[in-house]
A = this chain, B = another copy of it.
């Protein structure tokens, strides 16, 4: 913003100062205007405010939340602030935004408000919103954009460009491909915009279109669609309804959000965090972690029951109590390593029938080798520490066995869960660590009871 902007009326300056104070904008010159911020930057700053600060901000200057900023804010924040905006402002945002962004915002509106806001919309906008909301969460039908550019194959480059110049406002803000369709909206091919623009005006779309068209289905899970985009390096893809007609498109910027969500979900699920949402408060944090801690308590008790079977052995040879956590911990880590690699491979679709057997063999061999190496190490340490060769021997055997089981559990558990239709990221950890704890304690204390007493 240049000096001239300072001639704005006093009240507006006041407003800006208030906002700058609120938003903690650190700037070297005082000319920085909030209105010049990129919506994504504004949203980032706004999200850093506490709930009280946000409310204070909105009570004085709700008009600063433009539709673009609303589209950039995290769902949780949108849910918080929507009740503080007027119905008119919300309806205006829903009208102005592309349909996919509008749907995401609409989802956060409380049920009793929805009807009123829907009535404030133009019939076409309302119809598009309702069509999207008819699909399940995390399916493409819900996420796709219903505005796209399509043309019949007999049009020329010139026809197409002229048509777009004439249509203007009604086209999506940005698009990357022209979809060539037949009279029933079935896709025949596509033409990247950068290609269309380079061709002579007289060329027909049919002559220049690429018919190796990759499509996605509107009832497809978002993860599946993200995989297709990634594999084929797509920027946008048409979404087909059950009759094979184009009903919308997906674009790569939404796909990146999906990829990040899915990655976050997998990573947190492996660590036993149930809800991958933004857990801002201590209470929601407790809720998202307690379930897994509860399951872990149960499995730890199972492992303790194994130890309890050998209480007499431990009382006789207390060194066993000192070494047994090492055996269990090493197995747990080896299992977790295998598990993380397998879950990641499954997410990347690297495990096909051909490669699965190779992967199982690889994990078994690797577990056996690492098991042997670290069994030797622990046996050596045990011998040095306690001066007893028999204890060293027991530690060696238990380590080899537990590593082998850990490696196998690390790959067979997620594969098995996947086969049963479960998400391997969510439920594998608990099975794998239970296996390594139980096998670790059982092998170590069991062989000790057999060989040492």
| Segment with Cβ contacts to B, from A57-65, A129-137, A360-368 | A360-368
Number of copies: 2
Q: Please determine whether A304 and B323 come into contact, CB atoms closer than 8 angstroms.
A: yes
Q: Please determine whether B336 and A271 come into contact, CB atoms closer than 8 angstroms.
A: yes
Q: Which residue of B lies closest to A368 (CB)?
A: B282
**Residues of chain B contacted by A167 (CB below 8 angstroms):** 198
Given the interface pairs A194-B193, A256-B229, A355-B48, the reply to whether A279 lies near B341 with Cβ below 8 Å is: yes
Distance A286 CA – B371 CA, assembled complex (angstroms): 10
A184 at the interface (CB under 8 A from B): no
Distance A341 CA – B279 CA, assembled complex (angstroms): 9
A124 at the interface (CB under 8 A from B): no
Distance A235 CA – B289 CA, assembled complex (angstroms): 37
Distance A115 CA – B355 CA, assembled complex (angstroms): 36
Given the interface pairs A271-B270, A273-B340, the reply to whether A318 lies near B329 with Cβ below 8 Å is: no
A348 at the interface (CB under 8 A from B): yes
A259 at the interface (CB under 8 A from B): yes
Given the interface pairs A40-B231, A176-B176, the reply to whether A326 lies near B304 with Cβ below 8 Å is: yes
Distance A278 CA – B281 CA, assembled complex (angstroms): 39
A321 at the interface (CB under 8 A from B): yes
Q: Please determine whether A293 and B370 come into contact, CB atoms closer than 8 angstroms.
A: yes
A333 at the interface (CB under 8 A from B): yes
Could you tell me which residues of chain A, from 154 to 213, have a CB within 8 Å of some CB in chain B?
161, 164-165, 167-168, 171-172, 174-176, 192-200, 212
A233 at the interface (CB under 8 A from B): yes
A2 at the interface (CB under 8 A from B): no
A104 at the interface (CB under 8 A from B): no
Distance A427 CA – B90 CA, assembled complex (angstroms): 46
CB distance from A43 to the nearest CB of B (A): 9
**Residues of chain B contacted by A196 (CB below 8 angstroms):** 197
A252 at the interface (CB under 8 A from B): yes
Q: Which residue of B lies closest to A171 (CB)?
A: B198
Could you tell me which residues of chain A, from 234 to 258, have a CB within 8 Å of some CB in chain B?
234-235, 252-253, 255-257
**Residues of chain B contacted by A352 (CB below 8 angstroms):** 48
What 0/1 readout, one digit per residue, does chain A (323-336) give for beta carbons within 8 Å of chain B? 11110111001101
**Residues of chain B contacted by A336 (CB below 8 angstroms):** 271-272
Distance A378 CA – B290 CA, assembled complex (angstroms): 14
CB distance from A38 to the nearest CB of B (A): 6
A-B contact pairs, 8 of them (CB 8 A): A24-B354, A267-B267, A268-B340, A286-B369, A293-B374, A297-B330, A315-B318, A321-B324
For the complex of A and B, 7 pairs with smallest distance between CB atoms? A271-B340, A282-B365, A285-B366, A233-B253, A321-B321, A263-B263, A300-B326
Seen from chain A, the residues whose Cβ lies within 8 Å of a Cβ on chain B are: 24, 38, 40, 44, 48, 50, 149, 161, 164-165, 167-168, 171-172, 174-176, 192-200, 212, 214, 229-235, 252-253, 255-257, 259-260, 263-264, 266-268, 270-273, 278-283, 285-286, 289-290, 292-294, 296-297, 300-301, 303-304, 307-308, 311, 314-315, 318-319, 321-326, 328-330, 333-334, 336-337, 339-341, 343-344, 348, 350, 352, 354-355, 358, 361-363, 365-366, 369-370, 373-374, 377-378, 381, 437, 441
